[in-house]
Amino acid sequence: MSSQVFLNKTLSGSFSNAWNIVGENYSHFSLLERLWTTWYTYMQNNTLATGIMSFAIHEIVYFGRCLPWIIIDFIPYFRRWKLQDQKIPTIKEQWSCTRLVLLSHFTVELPQIWLFHPLTQYFGMSISAPFPNFSKIFFHVLLFFIMEDTFHYWAHRALHWGPLYKHIHKLHHKYSAPFGLAAEYAHPAEVLILGLGTIGSPILWCFLTGDLHLFTVYVWITLRLFQAIDAHSGYDFPWSLNKFIPFWSGAEHHDAHHEIFVNCYSTSFRWWDHFMGTDKRYKALRKRQALKKKNL
C-alpha cells in the first residue's frame, strides 16, 4: 500500500480503523509495536502524539508507583522496616505534597515535555517501530543510570551550597522523613536543574551517536521514576535492591540524606559519595543506630 493511500485510509477512520490498517501492513510487529504505530498513525501529528504519550506515561508511572507506598504507610505491619518509624506521613501531608507535585507537573514539566519531540527530531532520535532489541535497550538504560547519577551527584551537592539551598533546595527538605510522593516535591528551578540529568543524558547520547529510540527513553524514564520514588519511600526491606546490589543507594541511603540534611548526594549508586568522602556522617549515623539497637 502506498503511503498516500495508507494516510487517506487512516484519516477517514477511527483508532480501531488505524489499528486494523497497521495490522494489515505490519503483521510482523509485536502487540506493543502495533499499538505504538497505531497511535502515531491515528494522531497524524507526531509532536502532539509524543507530547500526550510522554505526559501520560509520566503521570501514570509516578502516581501508580506512589500508590503502594501510600497504602503501606497506613499499615502498621510494615513499620518494622520504616527507617524513621516515628515519622509517618499524615493524610494532610500526603495531600499537601500531591497538590504541589501536580502543580509542578502541569506548570514546569508539561511545557518541557511538549518541547521534547522537536528535540528528538533535531538530534535524530527514532520514533518508528520496530523497537531496539533487549540488549541494546539494557545497555542504553544502564548507561543513562550512570550518566544521570554522575550529573545528579554534583548538581545536588551544588544545591546544598548556602544561597542555592536557601532559595531552591530547602523546599525539597521540608520532609526530614521522606515518603514516595515527595520524590518530585521541589522548587521549579530544582525540577529544571535535576531534570537535565534525566532528559539530558539520553539527548547527549543521541547527539554523540545518533543511535537511540524513543521507546528506550520511556523505559529509562519509567525505571528512573521507580528509583526516585523508592529512594524516597522511607522503607528498607530485606528484599530491597540494595541488599542484592551493594552499591545501589536505595531508601536506606537517601533517607539518611533527609534525616541529617547532608551527605549521600547520589541518586542510584553509592560510589560518588564513597570516593568523595560525602558519606562519613551517614556511616556514623548508621553505626550509632546499630549500636543503639544492639543495646536494647
Tens of pLDDT, residues 151-205: 999 999 999 999 999 999 999 999 999 999 999 999 999 999 999 999 999 999 9
**According to the model, what pLDDT value does residue 1 have?**
44
| Cα 290 versus chain centre, distance | 31
pLDDT band at 113 (very low <50, low <70, confident <90, very high): confident
Domain range list for the chain? 1-44, 45-295
**According to the model, what pLDDT value does residue 13 have?**
64
**pTM of the complete model:** 0.92
Q: Output the CA angle 112-214-51, nearest 5 degrees.
A: 35
Q: Nearest Cα to 175, choosing from 97, 253, 262?
A: 97
- Backbone CA torsion sign across 289, 290, 291, 294: positive
SS (H, E, C) 129-184: CCCCCHHHHHHHHHHHHHHHHHHHHHHHHHHCCHHHHHHCHHHHHHCCCCCHHHHH
